[in-house]
Structures are given as structure tokens and as C-alpha cells.
Amino acid sequence: MATRGTAAALREGGVEATEVLKIQEGRPNAGDLMKNGDISMMFITSTGNEEDVRDGKNLRRLALALKVPIITTLAGARATVQVRSGLGPFSENCPCGPAFVLICNLLL
């Protein structure tokens, strides 16, 4: 799952992504999906505009409250993938889901 811009970038990299709404765009949005347990880890990026900054702040607070791991930089995402790859081969049975496996393979 990814918001519009991130989903487009993932598709360009060969990763299929389901688009989700940002909090500011309506419902159901990424926050709702997190509350429902449909998101188990978040890579949060921002364009830097005021609405994205506000959305990111709200998502980070919610993730902390729900104990959902969050990564906010590409360097952090790469480091997470490198650490995770040291635990053994990625498989479709990864608890983070097959999309995480595909993203990890792209970042390696």
C-alpha cells in the first residue's frame, strides 16, 4: 500500500502497489488502515509541503501510539533492509507481507 506518488514510483520500479489516501484526502486513509491493523510497518516520506508535513506528523504520532514501526528516510529504509536481509533470505511468507519483500529486494 502506498499513497499516490509513492505508488507510482513503486510501479515504475516493478512493484505493484495499492493506492491509499493520505489523511487529508479523505477516508479510508493510511491512518484508518493502521488503526484496523492493515499496516504493520510504515516508510513515511514527504514532499515538504505543509499538508504533507501535517499528515506525516499525524501518522508518526499514530504509529507510535499503535507501536507500528516507522522509517522516515531512504537511508533508514536501506539500513532496515540490510539488517533484515542478514536474517536470511526474504520469502513470500515474511510477516511484513510480500510487498515488503519486493520493496526490500529493490533497495538491496
- What domains lie within the chain, and their CATH numbers? 4-107 (3.40.50.1380)
pLDDT digits (tens, 9 = 90+) for 38-81: 888 888 877 788 988 888 899 999 999 999 888 888 788 778 87
Q: Which of 33, 99, 20, 27 is nearest to 62 (CA)?
A: 33
Rounded to 5 degrees, what are φ and ψ at 8?
-65, -45
Average pLDDT over the chain, rounded to whole?
79
Q: Is the pLDDT of residue 15 over 60?
A: yes
Instruction: Output the pTM of the full model.
Output: 0.71
User: Span 27-42, mean pLDDT?
Assistant: 91
Across 19-28, 64-73, 75-84, 92-101, least confident range: 92-101
Q: Which of 28, 50, 48, 46 is nearest to 37 (CA)?
A: 28
If DSSP codes are grouped into helix, strand and coil, which group holds residue 35? helix
Q: Output the CA–CA distances (angstroms, integers) from residue 91 to 37, 43, 75, 95, 101, in the order listed.
A: 21, 20, 23, 9, 7
